[in-house]
C-alpha cells in the first residue's frame, strides 16, 4: 500500500528553513510595482504574474513531491485537498479550505483567509483590474501540469477588491495520459 498522504503540511513546514514573511511580501510587492511600471497595462501585468507563477509551479512541484511523501492522488478531490492542506502550508505557512465542488468533481474553490502576499497592500484606483495575487494561480496551474493535470485557475473573490476572502477556482480540464519519450529509441 502506498504511504498515507499527510493530512497537513504542519510537520513539513516546521522542518523546512523559513524566512520572515515580510521580506517575502515586500519583495513580491516590489515585483508587482516593477511590472506595473514596465508594462503599464494591468492586463499585461496579470499575464506576466501568471507566467512567473507558472515558471515557479513547474519547479516547485519537484520539491513538493520530494518533501511531502505524497504519491499519486486517486482523484481530483484528493489533489485539491493536498494542495490546500499540504502545499499551501509547506510553502506559505497558511492553509486553504476546499469548497464549492461541482457535481462531477472536476471544479472546486480554494479559499484563503490568510494570504501572506497581501500584507500592507491596498489597490489604488488606477489598478482596479489587477489580480494582485495572480502569481498564485500560475503556481497552482504549473505545478498541476507537471503531474499531468491541465487546469484552469481563476480568481473568484479577492480581498483587495473588497471581498471577504480569497477564492481561487480550480477547474480540471483534462488529465493528460503519461507519455514516455520513446522517440529517442526509435
The reply to whether 24 sits near another protein by the rule CB under 8 A is yes
User: What gap in Å lies between CA 54 and CA 47, rounded to an integer?
Assistant: 10
Contact string 78-117 vs another protein (x = CB under 8 A): ------------xxxx----------------------x-
Q: Which of 6, 24, 114 is nearest to 64 (CA)?
A: 6
* Burial class of residue 22 in the structure, from the number of CB atoms within 10 Å of its CB (0-12 exposed, 13-18 middle, 19+ buried): exposed
The reply to whether 58 sits near another protein by the rule CB under 8 A is no
The reply to whether 68 sits near another protein by the rule CB under 8 A is no
C-alpha cell at position 40: 503599464
Q: Which stretch binds another protein (CB under 8 A): 27-35, 76-84, 98-106, 145-153?
A: 27-35
Residue among 93 and 171 whose Cβ is closer to another protein: 93
* Contact of 43 with 49, CB cutoff 8 Å: no
- Binder among 6, 10, 47, 55 for another protein (CB under 8 A): 55
What is the size of the binding site for another protein (CB under 8 A)? 42
* Contact of 170 with 151, CB cutoff 8 Å: yes
C-alpha cell at position 137: 494561480
The reply to whether 66 sits near another protein by the rule CB under 8 A is no
* Contact of 107 with 170, CB cutoff 8 Å: yes
The reply to whether 21 sits near another protein by the rule CB under 8 A is yes
Please provide the size of the chain in residues.
Answer: 186
Residue among 98 and 136 whose Cβ is closer to another protein: 136
Residues numbered 150 to 179 that lie near another protein (CB under 8 A) are: 159, 161-164
C-alpha cell at position 144: 498541476
Q: Which of 124, 113, 54 is nearest to 88 (CA)?
A: 113
Q: Which stretch binds another protein (CB under 8 A): 10-18, 69-77, 165-173, 177-185?
A: 10-18
List of residues contacting another protein (CB under 8 A): 13, 16-24, 26-31, 33-35, 38, 48, 52, 55-56, 59-60, 63, 90-93, 116, 119-122, 135, 159, 161-164
Amino acid at each position: 500500500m502506498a504511504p498515507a498522504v499527510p493530512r497537513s503540511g504542519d510537520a513539513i513546514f516546521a522542518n523546512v528553513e523559513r524566512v520572515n514573511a515580510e521580506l517575502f511580501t515586500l519583495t513580491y510587492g516590489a515585483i508587482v510595482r516593477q511590472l506595473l511600471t514596465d508594462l503599464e497595462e494591468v492586463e499585461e501585468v496579470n499575464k506576466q504574474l501568471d507566467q512567473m507563477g507558472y515558471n515557479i509551479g513547474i519547479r516547485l512541484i519537484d520539491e513538493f513531491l520530494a518533501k511531502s511523501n505524497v504519491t499519486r492522488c486517486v482523484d481530483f478531490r484528493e489533489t485539491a485537498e493536498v494542495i490546500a492542506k499540504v502545499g499551501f502550508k509547506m510553502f506559505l505557512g497558511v492553509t486553504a479550505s476546499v469548497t464549492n465542488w461541482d457535481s462531477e468533481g472536476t471544479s472546486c474553490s480554494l479559499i484563503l483567509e490568510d494570504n501572506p502576499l497581501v500584507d500592507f497592500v491596498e489597490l489604488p484606483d488606477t489598478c482596479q483590474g489587477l489580480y494582485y495575487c495572480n502569481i498564485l494561480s500560475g503556481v497552482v496551474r504549473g505545478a498541476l501540469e507537471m503531474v499531468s493535470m491541465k487546469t484552469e485557475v481563476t480568481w473568484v473573490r479577492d480581498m483587495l477588491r473588497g471581498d471577504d476572502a480569497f477564492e481561487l477556482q480550480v477547474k480540471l480540464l483534462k488529465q493528460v495520459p503519461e507519455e514516455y519519450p520513446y522517440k529517442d529509441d526509435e
